Amino acid sequence: MKRNTYIILTISCIFSLIILKAIITKPQLPQEGFSPSVNIEEKLNLSIDIEKLKNNPSTLILTALTLAYLSLILIGLANLVIFGIRKFKNKPIVDIVSERKKFSLSEKGSSKLLFLISLMIFGMYVILIALGNFKLPIPQLPLIFNLAFQVGVILIVLRYISLKSLGFSLSKKHLIISLRIYSAILPVTLISLLINAFIAKKMGIGYSPNPAIEIFFLLKNKILLSTLIIQVVLLGPIAEELFFRGFIYKLTKNKYSFLVSAGLTSIFFSLIHRVPYNILPLFVLSLALCYVYEKTQNILAPFILHFVHNFVSVCFFLAIKELL
């Protein structure tokens, strides 16, 4: 099949998905395994009992995490100053030079990869609708589909792009660079979060949490909760880095500059998460991930940054969950 054929098929899958979402109501999935008193569609009530706060050991954990996070922000501010000084002196922000690896996938292969992923998304949504309408008693359905999607993305990307071409080597220097960049974007991310919230409020957009966070706080079954944590901390970063940095960024970088390629990749990355209140923070995170990958040419570097970001968030959520 020709490249244009795959492009047409990809567009057809996307439009079909949009039409399905517009004409078919969201299927009602079983809520077993979630809090019996709260429906997953309702707003979360994250109020904390003060008495419970005083007598709960998780309070100490949350306090320690908060202090560690504040320390990390201070380190990040220091790194921002250092990076700014280096930039002012026309020096590279990080002392690392990696030979840029050429994107080996052809236009036809790229089109086919996009088509297979769009077809997988469309097929999974159709199955989800069917199972929802039949009201089959499968409480783990959302997690199963999310797991299948992440594994599917990983397998499809690795079917067409080898890890060797993406750079896959554990380097102490790359690890340090990833952690320094992560600390530096923390204050920027917090500022962008405030700006995002202000803009959303002015536009009349109501707050809606990330679906994964919503499910996280409603889950009562420890096995399901552990499965979700693995998806958020490990499988999610692997799938997203392979697709966004390993494929989308490298594909656009073949034709455009770093800023244009990173910008386009980051817009796609932030919008696909479908959380209006997190668009700017996700955009900032993605820019940092693209920068780390561009400088190291090692897909493990942005993965480590992404992993640390999600891991820190999950640690906070676990401590808060114990206080609710």
Q: Which residue has the higher pLDDT, 63 or 153?
A: 153
Residue 240 pLDDT > 80, yes or no? yes
- Of the pLDDT bands very low, low, confident and very high (cuts 50, 70, 90), residue 1 is low
Phi/psi of residue 219, nearest 5 degrees: -65, 135
pTM of the entire structure?
0.87
pLDDT digits (tens, 9 = 90+) for 149-164: 999 999 999 999 998 8
pLDDT, residue 210, reads 76
* Proportion of the chain in helix, strand, coil states, percent, rounded to 5: 75, 0, 25
What is the maximum span of the chain, computed from C-alpha positions, in angstroms?
Answer: 66
Distance between CA 189 and CA 305 in Å, rounded?
Answer: 14
Residue 267 pLDDT > 60, yes or no? yes
Are 118 and 14 spatial neighbours (Cβ–Cβ below 8 Å)? Answer: yes
- Of the pLDDT bands very low, low, confident and very high (cuts 50, 70, 90), residue 49 is low
Most confident range, picked from 16-25, 172-181, 214-223, 299-308? 299-308
pLDDT, residue 50, reads 57
When pLDDT is averaged across residues 220-224 and rounded to a whole number, the result is 85
Distance between CA 21 and CA 301 in Å, rounded?
Answer: 36
Q: Which residue reads 């050429």 in tokens?
A: 102
pLDDT, residue 242, reads 96
Does residue 101 sit in helix, strand or coil? coil
Are 313 and 305 spatial neighbours (Cβ–Cβ below 8 Å)? Answer: no
Tokens, residue 224: 């399901």
pLDDT digits (tens, 9 = 90+) for 97-151: 677 777 888 888 899 999 999 999 888 888 877 776 655 555 567 788 889 999 9
For the chain, percent of residues with pLDDT exceeding 90: 44
Q: How far is CA 128 from the centre of its chain?
A: 22
CA dihedral 73, 187, 174, 146 (to 10 degrees): 110
| Neighbouring C-beta atoms of residue 13, cutoff 10 Å | 20
Are 184 and 309 spatial neighbours (Cβ–Cβ below 8 Å)? Answer: no
pLDDT, residue 259, reads 94
pLDDT, residue 28, reads 47
Query: One-letter amino acid identity for 62?
Result: L
